[in-house]
A = this chain, B = another copy of it.
Amino acid sequence: MRPSQRQPDQLRPVRLTRGFTCHAEGSVLVEFGATRVLCTASVEDSVPAFLRGKGQGWLTAEYGMLPRATHTRSAREAAKGKQSGRTQEIQRLIGRSLRAVVDLAALGERQIVIDCDVLQADGGTRTAAITGACVAVHDALVGLVAAGKLARNPMREFVAAVSVGIHDGVPVLDLDYAEDSACDTDMNVVMTEGGGLIEVQGTAEGAAFSRAELDALLDLAELGGRHLFELQRAAVHGG
């Protein structure tokens, strides 16, 4: 049995609250159970130096965790003076995932900066962040269209992410912290609405995993993805 009493293929309750803060062009609070991440998308009228004058846009992401988002307080990265390797891995993943679904040429010479800040952590912060950031970026792009700055929304399709893992020998969907800590294999899967895979990152925490286990995990992830895309669409249409 899962610690949360969920079925193996059951997501935690997922909520997407748009307009959570007022200044950003897109601002979404995403919740996967007790995991809560504030995702904002900021539109900037310039691009990084390596793209200047190339007529295309860019999209990048930063990730942070409030010091007491976790069970015990973790040191503030701004005070330590550097971002951990984990933070950098996650923010690079978020940026790649969103760039994969946005037509950067159609965006023009602008940059979207995504900030994903974890207010409360209970496992799966990176997958929640990608799922929420997608809606925040969508809202920012809709705003550019509404303002007449873009002819059409350059986001081709939605992107969402979910974690899967093998817990007590059973493949399970959307790990919370209790499961994540006790898991043998842990995989994050980033998918598109159209059924494509953007990133597959599977890691053996203890023993190696087999091809058969990998397949079972991918099946679960696709199932979870379908549910997340429905929630993203509902959030956007109900907004």
Contacts and interface: CB of A to CB of B under 8 A. Distances in A.
A66 B115 contact: yes
B197 A73 contact: no
Given A38-B66, A64-B76, A117-B66, A203 B208 contact: no
A203 B96 contact: yes
A201 to B, nearest CB: 5
Contacts of A211: 197, 218
A150 B142 CA distance: 52
Interface in A35-71: 36, 38, 40, 42, 44, 62, 64, 66-71
A230 interface: no
A92 B85 CA distance: 8
How many monomers of this protein are in the complex? 6
A211 B209 CA distance: 18
B115 A67 contact: yes
B204 A199 contact: yes
Contacts of A78: 64, 76-78, 80, 82-83, 87
A89 B88 contact: yes
Interface in A151-195: 187, 191-192, 194-195
Nearest to A198: B204
A120 B214 contact: no
A44 B72 CA distance: 9
A210 B200 CA distance: 11
Given A66-B117, A78-B64, A88-B89, A71 B23 contact: yes
A202 B40 CA distance: 27
Interface of A: 21-24, 27, 34, 36, 38, 40, 42, 44, 62, 64, 66-73, 76-83, 85-89, 91-92, 96, 100, 113, 115, 117, 119-121, 187, 191-192, 194-204, 206-211, 214, 218
